[in-house]
Amino acid sequence: MAEAEVAEKVRMLDIYIMEKHYKVPEGLTIQTALEYCGYRLIRGCGCRGGSCGACATVYNFTHDPTLRYGLACQTAVEPDMCVVQIPCFPTAKPIYDIKKLRPTVDQVLGIYPDLATCFGCNNCTQSCPQDIEVMDFMSAALRGDFPTVVEKSFECVMCGMCAARCPQGLSPYNIAMLIRRLHGRYLLPKSRHLEEKVKEIEEGKYDAEYEKLRSTPMEELRRIYDERWIEPK
Partner 1 sequence: MPYPPYMEESIRKLEASRQRRMKEEIPLISSDERDIIVRKYHPDYRETGKRKLLLGPNKDETMPEELANQLEGNSRVDPDKVDLSKIDYDVDVLIIGSGGAGLSAALLVQENGAKVLVATKLRLGDSNTIGAEGGTQAADRPNDSPVLHYLDTMGGGHFENVPELVWAMARDAPMAIKWLEDLGVNWDKETDGSMRELELAGECRRRVHSCKDYTGLEVMRVLRDEVRCRDNIDYIEFEPAIELIMDDRGQVAGAILVNLETNELSLVRAKAVIVATGGLGRLHTQGFPTTNHYGATADGLAMAYRVGCSLIYGDSIQYHPTGAVYPLQLVGILITENVRALGGQIINIDGEQVACNLEPRDILASFEIRECTERHKGITTSAGNVGVWEDIPLIDMIHGEGTIAARLPSLVHKFSRFNIDLIHEPVLVYPTLHYQNGGVRMDANSATEVPGLWVPGEVGGGVHGRNRLGGNATLDIYVFGRRAGREAAQYAKEVKLGKLTLNHVRQWQNELERLGIVKERPFSPMLLPNYARQPSDYLADLYTEKLQPGLVKLA
Partner 2 sequence: MAQETRVAEEAKVEEKVRMLDIYIMGKRYKVPEGLTIQSALEYCGYNLVRGCGCRFGFCGACGTIYNFTYDPTIRYGLACQTVVEQNMVITQIPFFPAAEALYNVEDLKPKEGGNKLAELYPDILTCFGCNNCTKTCPQELEVMEFMSDAIRGDYAKVYEKSFDCLLCGLCAARCPQGLQPYNIALAARRLRGAHLAPKSQHNLDRMKEIEEGKFDAELEKLKKMSRDELRELYDKREIEPAL
Q: How far apart are CA 126 and CA 165, in angstroms?
A: 9
- 20 binds partner 1 per the rule CB under 8 A: no
Residue 155: which of partner 2, partner 1, none does it interact with, CB under 5 to 8 A by kind?
partner 1
Nearer to partner 2, 164 or 176 (CB): 164
Task: Note the residue count of the chain.
Answer: 233
DSSP for residue 79:
T
- 111 binds partner 1 per the rule CB under 8 A: no
Q: How far is the CB of 42 from partner 1 (least distance, A)?
A: 5
Using CB under 8 A, pick the residue from 46, 81, 83, 161 that binds partner 1.
46
Using CB under 8 A, pick the residue from 2, 38, 49, 66 that binds partner 2.
66
Q: How far apart are CA 228 and CA 213, in angstroms?
A: 13
Using CB under 8 A, pick the residue from 54, 134, 162, 166 that binds partner 1.
54
In contact, 13 and 23? CB cutoff 8 Å: yes
Q: How far apart are CA 216 and CA 151, in angstroms?
A: 48
- 89 binds partner 2 per the rule CB under 8 A: yes
Q: Residues 6 or more apart from 21 whose CB is under 8 A from it?
A: 14, 15
- 150 binds partner 1 per the rule CB under 8 A: yes
**Interior CA angle at 110 toward 104 and 111, to 5°?**
100
Q: How far is the CB of 73 from partner 1 (least distance, A)?
A: 8
- 177 binds partner 1 per the rule CB under 8 A: yes
Element spanning 134, H or E = helix 134-143
- The residues binding partner 2 (CB under 8 A) are 18-19, 43, 58-60, 65-67, 82-84, 86-92, 114, 119, 121, 123, 164-165, 167, 169, 171
